[in-house]
Chain A
Amino acid sequence: MSPTIGKTGAARLNSVGRLMLVPSVGALLTWMVIPLAITIWLSFQDYRLLDADQRHFAGLANYRGLFADPAFAGAILNTLLLILFVLAATIFGGILIALLVEAARIGRSLLRVLIISPFFVMPGVSALLWKNLLMQPISGLLGWLGGLIGLAPFDWFARQPLLSVSIIVAWEWLPFAALVFLTALQSFDAEQKEAAQLDGASGLSMFRYLTLPHLARSITIVIMMETIFLLSIFAEIFVTTGGGPGTATTNVAYLIYTRALLQYDVGAASAAGVVAVVIANVIAFLFARAVGRSLDS
Chain B
Amino acid sequence: MKRIATILLAAALSSCSGGNRDVTTLTVATVNNSDMVRLKGLSSAFTKAHPNIRLNWVTLEENVLRQRVTTDVATRGGQFDVITIGSYEVPIWAQRRWLLGMDDLGPSYRADDLLPAIRDALSAKGVLYAAPINGEGSFTMYRTDLFAKAKLVMPQHPSWDFIATAAKKLNDPAHGVYGICLRGKAGWGENMATIVAMSNSFGARLFDEHWRPQFDTPEWKRTLSVYVDLARNAGPPGMIANGFNESLALYAAGKCAIWFDSTVAAPFVTDPKTSVVADKTGFAAAPDAGLGRTANWLWTWALAIPASTTKAKAAKSFVAWATGPDYAKLVAGRFGWAAAPPGTRTSLYANPAYRKAAPFAEATLEAIGAADTHHPTVKPVPYVGVQYAAIPEFQGLGTEVGQQFSGAVAGTMTVDQALDAAQTSSKRQMAAASRQ
Binding site for B on A (CB under 8 A): 48-52, 65, 68-71, 131, 136-139, 153-159, 161, 240-248, 250, 258-259, 261-265, 268
**Structural contact, B395 and A245, CB atoms closer than 8 A:** no
What's the minimum C-beta distance from B12 to chain A, rounded to whole angstroms?
Answer: 30
Q: Which residues of A contact B410 (CB under 8 A)?
A: 155, 158-159, 161, 244-246, 248
Q: Knowing A49-B75, A136-B238 touch, does A246 contact B70 (C-beta < 8 A)?
A: no
Taking CB atoms and an 8 Å cut-off, the chain B residues in 395-436 that contact chain A are: 395-397, 399-400, 402-404, 406-413, 418, 421, 424-425, 428-429, 432-433
In addition to A70-B425, A138-B176, 18 A-B residue pairs with Cβ atoms within 8 Å of each other are: A48-B433, A49-B70, A50-B74, A50-B92, A70-B424, A138-B237, A153-B238, A158-B237, A242-B399, A244-B403, A244-B406, A244-B410, A245-B408, A245-B410, A246-B404, A262-B399, A264-B70, A265-B432
Taking CB atoms and an 8 Å cut-off, the chain B residues in 77-109 that contact chain A are: 92, 96
Q: Which residues of B contact A156 (CB under 8 A)?
A: 238
Q: Knowing A50-B92, A246-B403 touch, does A138 contact B432 (C-beta < 8 A)?
A: no
What's the minimum C-beta distance from A270 to chain B, rounded to whole angstroms?
Answer: 14
A-B contacts, CB under 8 A, total: 119
A selection of 16 A-B contacts at a CB cut-off of 8 Å is: A48-B433, A51-B392, A65-B432, A131-B241, A138-B238, A153-B238, A155-B240, A158-B410, A159-B410, A159-B411, A245-B410, A245-B412, A248-B412, A259-B396, A264-B70, A264-B71
**Structural contact, A155 and B237, CB atoms closer than 8 A:** yes
**Structural contact, A157 and B407, CB atoms closer than 8 A:** no
Q: How far is the CA of A138 from the CA of B177 in the complex (A)?
A: 10
Residue B67 lies at the interface, judged by CB distance under 8 Å to chain A: yes
**Structural contact, A263 and B403, CB atoms closer than 8 A:** no
**Structural contact, A245 and B392, CB atoms closer than 8 A:** no
Q: Which residues of B contact A240 (CB under 8 A)?
A: 241
Q: Which residues of A contact B285 (CB under 8 A)?
A: none
**Structural contact, A242 and B412, CB atoms closer than 8 A:** no
Within 8 Å by CB of A264, from B74, B96, B424, lies: B74
Interface size classification for chain B: 35 or more
Binding site for A on B (CB under 8 A): 67, 70-71, 74-75, 92, 96, 176, 185-187, 236-241, 250, 253, 255, 392-393, 395-397, 399-400, 402-404, 406-413, 418, 421, 424-425, 428-429, 432-433
Q: How far is the CA of A268 from the CA of B433 in the complex (A)?
A: 12
What's the minimum C-beta distance from B401 to chain A, rounded to whole angstroms?
Answer: 11
Q: Knowing A138-B250, A263-B429 touch, does A244 contact B407 (C-beta < 8 A)?
A: yes
Q: Knowing A49-B75, A52-B75 touch, does A246 contact B406 (C-beta < 8 A)?
A: yes
Q: Which residues of B contact A246 (CB under 8 A)?
A: 403-404, 406-407, 410, 412-413, 418, 421
Q: How far is the CA of A69 from the CA of B238 in the complex (A)?
A: 29
Complex: chain A residue closest to B255, CB-CB: A138
**Structural contact, B240 and A157, CB atoms closer than 8 A:** yes
What's the minimum C-beta distance from B159 to chain A, rounded to whole angstroms?
Answer: 28
Q: Which A-B residue pairs are the 6 nearest by beta carbons?
A: A246-B407, A263-B396, A245-B410, A137-B237, A50-B392, A158-B410
Q: Knowing A138-B238, A264-B74 touch, does A258 contact B186 (C-beta < 8 A)?
A: no
What's the minimum C-beta distance from A235 to chain B, rounded to whole angstroms?
Answer: 12
Q: How far is the CA of A17 from the CA of B424 in the complex (A)?
A: 60
Q: Which of A161, A245, A263 has the most CB of B within 10 A?
A: A245
Q: Which residues of A contact B238 (CB under 8 A)?
A: 136-138, 153, 155-158
**Structural contact, B237 and A264, CB atoms closer than 8 A:** no
Q: How far is the CA of A148 from the CA of B56 in the complex (A)?
A: 51
Q: Knowing A48-B433, A246-B421 touch, does A263 contact B404 (C-beta < 8 A)?
A: no
**Structural contact, A258 and B409, CB atoms closer than 8 A:** no
Q: Which residues of B contact A247 (CB under 8 A)?
A: 403, 407
Q: Which residues of A contact B253 (CB under 8 A)?
A: 139
Q: Which residues of A contact B406 (CB under 8 A)?
A: 244-246
Within 8 Å by CB of B186, from A48, A243, A259, A264, lies: A243
What's the minimum C-beta distance from A258 to chain B, rounded to whole angstroms?
Answer: 7
Q: Which residues of A contact B96 (CB under 8 A)?
A: 50
Q: How far is the CA of A245 from the CA of B75 in the complex (A)?
A: 33
**Structural contact, B396 and A242, CB atoms closer than 8 A:** no
**Structural contact, A153 and B399, CB atoms closer than 8 A:** no
Complex: chain A residue closest to B187, CB-CB: A242
What's the minimum C-beta distance from A242 to chain B, rounded to whole angstroms?
Answer: 5
Q: How far is the CA of A137 from the CA of B178 in the complex (A)?
A: 13
**Structural contact, A242 and B409, CB atoms closer than 8 A:** no
Q: Which residues of A contact B241 (CB under 8 A)?
A: 131, 136, 157-158, 240-241
Q: Which residues of A contact B92 (CB under 8 A)?
A: 50
Complex: chain A residue closest to B399, CB-CB: A262
Q: How far is the CA of A70 from the CA of B67 in the complex (A)?
A: 25
Complex: chain A residue closest to B391, CB-CB: A50
Complex: chain B residue closest to A238, CB-CB: B63
Q: Which of B186, B237, B238, B410 has the most CB of A within 10 A?
A: B238
Complex: chain B residue closest to A246, CB-CB: B407
Q: Which residues of B contact A49 (CB under 8 A)?
A: 70-71, 74-75
What's the minimum C-beta distance from B44 to chain A, rounded to whole angstroms?
Answer: 31
**Structural contact, B74 and A158, CB atoms closer than 8 A:** no
Within 8 Å by CB of A242, from B74, B185, B424, lies: B185
